[in-house]
């Protein structure tokens, strides 16, 4: 596959690193949220939230990062056995995990519940802590807006047809 990408001119080596032609990258779609009377980018409530809410966002981000380092989080998950840490998370609900970690902020809980309902069809009181963490750990982690460390990777796609 890598040779084909190179042959098609989609991948080339620049300064010793492989680069994909930006014209063929598709980045995650951006969503917007109407929160506190105004539109904001993303779904994580940010405008007008206090320091306590931001601290909880950061704490959850750190917990997801720790989970990502402790074991591998894969998609599809069904092909791989769960690590011991993941088995412990699978044994409790996501809400129990949030309670154990002192994550009680209503904005954070709303967002996490939204994510679980979107992917699993059930909220934080029903899905396992493993499922709640897997939502973020198997993708790009949990990033607090304004504190991103690096740009998310794009997904390679074929060229789009243009209307003539």
**Each residue's pLDDT tens digit, 92-148:** 999 999 999 999 999 999 999 999 998 899 999 999 999 999 999 988 788 887 665
pLDDT for the residue 95: 98
Tokens of 38: 């105004």
Q: Which regions of 2-118 does DSSP assign to beta strands (E)?
A: 11-14, 17-20, 25-26, 32-35, 38-41
d(CA 37, CA 59): 27
Structure confidence at residue 23 as a pLDDT band (50, 70, 90) = confident
The rounded percent of the chain whose pLDDT value lies above 70 is: 82
The pLDDT assigned to 164 comes to 44
Domain spans of the chain? 2-28, 50-137
Tell me the per-residue pLDDT of 33-53, one tens digit each, with 9 for 90 and over. Answer: 777 788 888 788 888 889 999
**Max Cα–Cα distance, the chain, nearest Å:** 58
């Amino acid at each position: 596959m890598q040779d084909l990408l190179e042959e098609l001119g989609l991948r080339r080596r620049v300064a010793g690193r492989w680069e994909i032609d930006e014209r063929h990258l598709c980045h995650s779609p951006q969503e917007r949220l109407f929160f506190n009377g105004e539109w904001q980018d993303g779904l994580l409530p940010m405008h007008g939230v206090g320091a306590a809410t931001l601290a909880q966002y950061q704490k959850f981000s750190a917990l997801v990062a720790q989970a990502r380092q402790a074991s591998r989080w894969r998609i599809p998950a069904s092909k791989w056995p769960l690590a011991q840490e993941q088995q412990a998370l699978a044994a409790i609900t996501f809400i129990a995990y949030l309670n154990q970690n002192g994550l009680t902020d209503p904005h954070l809980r709303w967002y996490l519940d939204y994510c679980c309902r979107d992917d699993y069809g059930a909220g934080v009181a029903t899905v396992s802590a493993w499922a709640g963490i897997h939502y973020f750990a198997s993708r790009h982690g949990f990033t607090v807006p304004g504190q991103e460390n690096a740009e998310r990777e794009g997904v390679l796609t074929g060229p789009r047809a243009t209307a003539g």
